[in-house]
Structure 1
Amino acid sequence: MPDQSAHNKPSIAISACLTGHNVRYNGGHKASDLCRKQLEAHFDWLPVCPEVAIGLGVPRDPIRLVGDPQHPAVVGTRNPDLDLTGPLTQYGEQMAAELDGICGYIFMQKSPSCGLERVKVYQDNGHPAAEGGTGAYAAAFCARRPDLPVEEEGRLHDPVLRENFISRVYAYADWQHVLAEGLSRGALVRFHSRYKYLLMANNPQAYRQLGRLLGSMSRDDDPQIIGPRYFSQLMQALRRCASRGTHGNVLQHLSGYFKDALSPQDKAELQHIIDQYQQGEVPLVVPLTLLKHHLRKHPDPYLLQQAYLQPHPDSLGLRNAV
């Protein structure tokens, strides 16, 4: 199974307040126990506070989004003549270009600079619009880095969203290693082979589409052109979270590799545990542990390379709760 520990820890940009930096408008922080205690050992944090970076002090007057939720402005709450839309947007564009070594970004939710969605956008009547907006810095950054895995810290408390995000971070890091070693036709096909079952679990339709994309690649096609197109589609596809149903389908596929190797009793036990998982009685780690047990006893080169079996380090425990 892929050894994620063989590589250096992936770098993740993160809103600086989440790592305990006292950079918020009130002089405080929003330190995240999840990030600092559960995730920190596995990632190199790159803390960023766009509001401090554009020259705002600590403490400072608060800011908020106003106007059109699709294209809000960022102004001072007490001084609406202070328009920070341009500086925050420009800094987002600047950091999108400069932070080329990161494999993900964790943003502070509800922030008028960093929130990804549902940020309050105030109207002339003093009330927020029914439709939320995106922080100005985050909007500019994400527009220029559409393939990068991004998530809000608040949403990471959902086990399914957390597992999905971290899986995408490691897939992104894996692709960076492929690019560093040279993107050949063979390297592209091998990468896709590793991610076939993870893709099948997250997005069965994209699994078929990307298979066709690479299957139709001729000897004359340039992998330097097809590769980025393939990877962009892959990262968009992996944003869809796998369900117990799609995981169950993949588990059935994987169990098929052992049909000639297992005794009738072992096959029945494996099927029973997959059924238990699909019915919500056990977490994903249970059938996967049994499958890995059989894979150690009956090695299969194709299965051993599958990212699905270990998309992130086991010590993160992310599949114990999905």
Structure 2
Amino acid sequence: MLTPSRPVIKIGISACLLGSPVRFNGGHKESRLCSETLARHFEFVPICPEVAIGLGTPREPIRLVGEPTNPRAVGTVHPELDVSDALTAYGERIAAELDDLSGYILMQKSPSCGMERVKVYQANGHPVDGGGSGLFARALMQAWPDLPVEEDGRLNDPVLRENFLSRVFAHAEWQRLRDTGLTRKALVDFHSRYKYQLMATDPLQYKALGRMVATIGKMPLDEFAPTYFRQLMQALKKTASRGNHSNVLQHLSGYLKRDIGSEDKQELQHLITQYREGVVPLVVPLTLLKHHFRRHPDRYVANQAYLQPHPENLSLRNAI
């Protein structure tokens, strides 16, 4: 059941992660995080590229061979079975057809869907150090460089999970803005809303994008907007450190300096320090900060995505 309070957000996903028996051995790799928790918040679009290009279930496994930067996907028993071009073409087709996705979750280690570190075998039968990307996944990521993409295994890391889903909601917000008719004012307002999120993930790009937005009137919007958004999504892809989060919390607490007393200020500073030192999770100082802003509203702060970049009941900041 999707959460009704927000517009529907679509995420592509490797079908096996939702429990579909599409693996080479007729099995699946169901992720309860995806099929139960995230399914309440997103509309998943399940895809198995290997089945989609005509490989049966069960089937002969495939693997990547050759150069890691440009491998081939061939059968493990019959290497004359080469589905490289078919997987790449299908990735390009999906990218062209499903332009309303705001994220993609891929099956790790898969020669078709793996995002990175997929084994690529040399002629001597040994894998190359570092590996490569699955061919379907690579085609997707090349066609959609701005799309938040993550692997299921990496989503077990609470920091990576929070970062990925924050980017998904940012991407979806940009899509809605673009679809309703992007204006220079709307872009400036969008950037203003993501200022503190940027400060947390990439302080240098926070400044660079600020300078960039200040020049928005100097080029056509249809040229400016894609460049801006690509740079924004690259900046948001960096995971925020405790130090950067603490810096943002300090900046936000500055808006309360005339509204709360010395004891409240000391308590807030104490919790920010405890968070920086790893004693408490991010949700603790944030909860107190939001409590004070409910009592002393500030329109600019209330509009900041940083305070609630994703639904509260996802509890993403309870473990970071």
Compared CA separation, residues 152 and 197, structure 1 to 2 (3 A) = same
Q: 1:83: which partner in 2?
A: 82
Q: Distance in 2 between matches of 1:125 and 1:310?
A: 52
Q: 1:101: which partner in 2?
A: 100
Tell me the C-alpha RMSD between the 2 structures.
1.0
Do the aligned partners of 1:194 and 1:307 also contact (CA within 8 Å) in 2? yes
Unaligned runs of 5+ in 1: none
Q: Distance in 1 between matches of 2:176 and 2:265?
A: 37
Secondary structure in structure 2 of the residue aligned to 1:319: coil
Q: Distance in 2 between matches of 1:302 and 1:29?
A: 47
TM-score (ref. length: structure 1):
0.97
Secondary structure in structure 1 of the residue aligned to 2:216: coil
Q: 1:40: which partner in 2?
A: 39
Q: 2:190: which partner in 1?
A: 191
1:262 aligned to which of 260, 277, 301: 260
- 2:234 is equivalent to residue 226 of structure 1: no
Q: CA deviation at 1:228?
A: 1.1
Spell out the pairing of 1:147-296 with structure 2 (5 A cutoff).
Answer: 147-218=146-217, 221-296=219-294
Unaligned runs of 5+ in 2: none
Q: Which amino acid aligns with 1:93?
A: E
- 2:303 is equivalent to residue 305 of structure 1: yes
Secondary structure in structure 2 of the residue aligned to 1:257: helix
Q: Which amino acid aligns with 1:131?
A: G
Secondary structure in structure 1 of the residue aligned to 2:211: helix
Alignment: residue pair count: 318
Q: 2:9: which partner in 1?
A: 10
Q: Which amino acid aligns with 2:70?
A: H
Secondary structure in structure 2 of the residue aligned to 1:46: strand
Q: Distance in 2 between matches of 1:181 and 1:24?
A: 40
The answer to which structure, 1 or 2, has the higher relative contact order (CA under 8 A, 6+ apart) is 1
Q: Distance in 2 between matches of 1:175 and 1:201?
A: 19
Q: CA deviation at 1:5?
A: 5.9
List, as ranges, runs of 4+ consecutive aligned residues in structure 1 with deviation greater than 3 Å: 4-7
Q: Which amino acid aligns with 1:164?
A: N
TM-score (ref. length: structure 2):
0.98
The farther-off stretch of 4-13 and 92-101 is 4-13
Deviations 1:64-107 (A, max 9, x none): 00010111100000000111110000000000111111100000
